[in-house]
A and B are shown apart, each in its own frame.
Chain A
Amino acid sequence: MTVATIPAPAFAIERFRLANGLRVVLAPDPGAPVVGVAVVYDVGMRSEPEGRTGFAHLFEHMMFQGSHNVGKAEHMRHVQSAGGTFNGSTHIDYTDYFNLLPSNGLELALFLEADRMRGPAITDENLANQVSVVKEEIRVNVLNRPYGGFPWIKLPPVMFDTFPNAHDGYGSFVDLDAATVADAQSFFDAYYPASNAVLSVAGDFDLEQARELVERHFGDVEARPAPVHPSFDEPDLDGERRESYVDERATLPAVAVAWRVPDPVTDLDAFLPYVVLGELLTDGDASRLVERLIHTDRTATAVAAHTTFMSEPFASRGPTAMLVQAFLPPGTAVDAVLGTVDEELARVAEGVEEAELDRVKARVAAQLLRGDDSVMGRSRRLATAEIFHGDAAMTTRFASLLGEVTPEAVARAAAAMTPNRRAVLEVIPGGVQ
């Protein structure tokens, strides 16, 4: 089977822009009686100020603490009262807020998102409360478990030199404690204008009615200029960088290796072969590194390769990386694994069979389609495609674009992943052996 036989998702996509600059994406699909509403703001961890690590994420929490016409905890109460669910998530290059509701809750979700787009109601009290909640989130996900933050927090400082790219986006407790209401106001003023956001609606709704509701609720959100997005670019590495740390709760050695890749937005054609390469290396038992490291050499117990630090190739900007991470059986030397990865990359660089690539592409396409099965996932992906690629309809084209990646392009990508361009981070287990 080749990717050419895979049908693209069959839903219409309508795009327009309100006078205040808000970009709107509507994708009606009567498949199930539910509707997904997502708002993506074009600001992520990279934009938070020095001395305020973790602020983009803390601010995301504050967006749930009430707004002009919505009291503390009422956003959640309104959505859940409509039978819906909600969440938000903070990423390296964007922050999203999303709601999934039975389709009769569409207007409610639009009202709630519009209300907080006019500004959250932040007080000293609810800020202190959410600083405390975020610290517990960090304790659960990073501090109190083995391999916490590996590699997404731990590897960037090895690879990058500048604050935006290198710092811990979850934040230090010192910085979180220092956050003020005034910081939140200036962050909102700078990064949360309507003109810096995309609203997307997917699922069971009437196009004309939705258009009218969007205009009614968002039309009078104040028009403010969008921030200028600075380049975060840094020079590529010109020699290997390598660091290690002891994780007291880890029981297995682990290693993450990263290479800079072409910009996922401005150089998409050159970036896509790395996405295919990641799958070729570690998707399933037939993939190159799983077969070699796990099943043949037995020098790894798990291995995964992916592009961008949060594994979201179509919702990231540069500078970013391709990562290979592996957990090793106790006592295994990291250098042996690195040497084998080099060998396997060299083999790919010599050439790849079309048949192998077709299998990999079929799997990639199926995974992308699976993400579209949920209208919540679909609404989020439409919005990030509009943010990063300037066109929500790109979500329906990623599978075919990946399908066009040639064996030669994959080989060239592998050839570029040389030891002198890599950043390596090793976890030394300190836990009970």
Chain B
Amino acid sequence: MNNVVPGLAPEVPLTLPVPVERTLPNGLRVLLTRRPGVPLAEVRLSIPAAHADLAVADLLTAAIFSGTETASMSEIARRLQGVGGALGAGADPDRIAVSGNSLATGLPELLEVLGDLLKAAEYPDGPLEVERSRIIDGLSVAEQQPDFQVGRVLDARLWGDHPYGHQQPTADEVAAVERAAVLALHAARLHPAGARLIIVGDIDPDATAAAVEKALGDWNGMGESGTGEPRRMEPLPDMAPGPLVLVDRAGSVQSAIRVAYPAVARTHPDNAAQHLANLIFGGYFSSRLVMNLRETKGYGYSPRSRVDHAPAGSLQLAAVDVATEVTGPALAEVRAELRGMADNPPDAEELDLARRYALGSVKLATATQSGVANYMSVLAASGLPLSWLTEHSERLREVTPADIRRVAAERLDPDRAVTVVLGDGAEIREPLAAFGEVVAP
């Protein structure tokens, strides 16, 4: 029997595909990446939509497939299905996005359909009402989900009147949207100026560029201002610490604990150290948070932390759902682990483990067509190219324990964090009061 854990073979260097970039005369930026493998293509279109009304945008993205000047909803769906394709759309405070995939041979057809939607979607009355009802029905279910409920309160508590403070419209807001508003939003915002189209897959970039030009070259280039310049989102305000927010959910058998604390942007010199500090704290299975709350105490199934980078700013968030009866002890452990990152900083070994994981994660995440497309899309939203991952990997190699201690001391402080807990108020109000003042949302 072998009893020595084998070491690793020599490291295989990270190799990233190099996108071919074109900008169409109408302003559409196109990034084409050949990634052979399975004979498919992944498509990601992102259109700036800062300060669009979110309820209107949600209705637009749900109903954009409902018919165009020349094709019914069924005809659109059949064309996509025939090339093994599908398209979906969604909106957030920064953008309207359309994404999908198809057989690589069917990509020109999918692009033609996409062009037709962008140029000639009609939002007919009947289907629009169907989509409105479906959004409202879906919201009624989502509003019973702990993660959705606590997320909505956390956004409002963190960002107040900034558009990020209200990222999920209410049923009343969706009900009040008029068709004219959807048409007006499409006319004002769905334009190629500032938009970005990413295609990754088993494609020939030149032929694909020609197909994009054919399908989207005559997409109208002018937005509402007439200059083609999209409205910008103002930066997030500084996070304002305050009393713990308790969201009462009667009968809840778990408490959803969320602790938010500041973060620097991807382009900040401390970003690599922040990335590794987050991993060590709660960003992967071997982290302190998981080892303590899950593998030692058994308080929760998936304690976790993450860094969110959005166009308007960045944020770190620790999250765990725990049995109601251990809400107090679990929050105490989250806070202690957060504080411990500076008070009991990782040594070289703990840091190296996280570093090796981070370096490998980049390889894993870029090993699929959809992974490359998603990474390109996420980075592009911060104005960064895919090759930034290579530079970031080099910076990860340079981070020292002292760097971790410094970034932890600067931002990982439970007393300067924003804490929201959703759970059964009758059971958890008293244990939470031990941490200080408790307020309602």
* Chain A residues with a Cβ under 8 A of chain B: 1, 5-7, 9, 31-34, 68-70, 72-73, 76-78, 80-86, 100-108, 111-112, 114, 118, 128-137, 139-140, 143-147, 204, 216-217, 220, 248-252, 283-287, 291, 294-295, 298, 301-302, 327, 329-330, 358-360, 362-363, 365-367, 369-370, 372-375, 431-432
Contacts and interface: CB of A to CB of B under 8 A. Distances in A.
Given A136-B298, A220-B1, 11 more contacts: A7-B39, A31-B367, A33-B15, A84-B360, A102-B11, A102-B12, A114-B2, A249-B144, A251-B141, A327-B141, A432-B143
B70 interface: no
Contacts of B226: none
B103 A102 contact: no
Contact of B82 (A105, A135, A359, A372): A359
Contacts of B26: none
Nearest to A100: B364
A9 B38 contact: yes
Contacts of A108: 5-8
Interface stretch (B174-182, B205-213, B249-257, B426-434): B249-257
A301 B5 contact: no
B37 interface: yes
B353 A105 contact: no
A217 B2 contact: yes
Interface stretch (B183-191, B236-244, B284-292, B400-408): B284-292
A366 B301 contact: no
A367 B38 CA distance: 11
B83 interface: yes
Given A139-B254, A143-B253, A144-B254, A370 B137 contact: no
B93 to A, nearest CB: 25
A83 B361 contact: yes
B163 interface: no
Contacts of A76: 285-286
Nearest to A205: B9
B321 A136 contact: yes
A144 B146 contact: yes
A132 B370 CA distance: 36
B25 to A, nearest CB: 31
A69 B15 CA distance: 34
B395 interface: no
A366 B15 CA distance: 26
B137 A284 contact: no
B3 interface: yes
Interface in B91-107: 101-103, 105-106
A11 B355 CA distance: 32
Nearest to B148: A145
Contacts of A5: 105
B144 A286 contact: no
B176 to A, nearest CB: 19
Nearest to B133: A329
B214 interface: no
Contact of A248 (B74, B83, B251): B251
A362 B84 contact: yes
Interface string B333-357: 0000000000000000000110011
Contact of A136 (B73, B254, B286): B254
A140 B364 CA distance: 28
A80 B353 contact: yes
A139 B81 contact: no
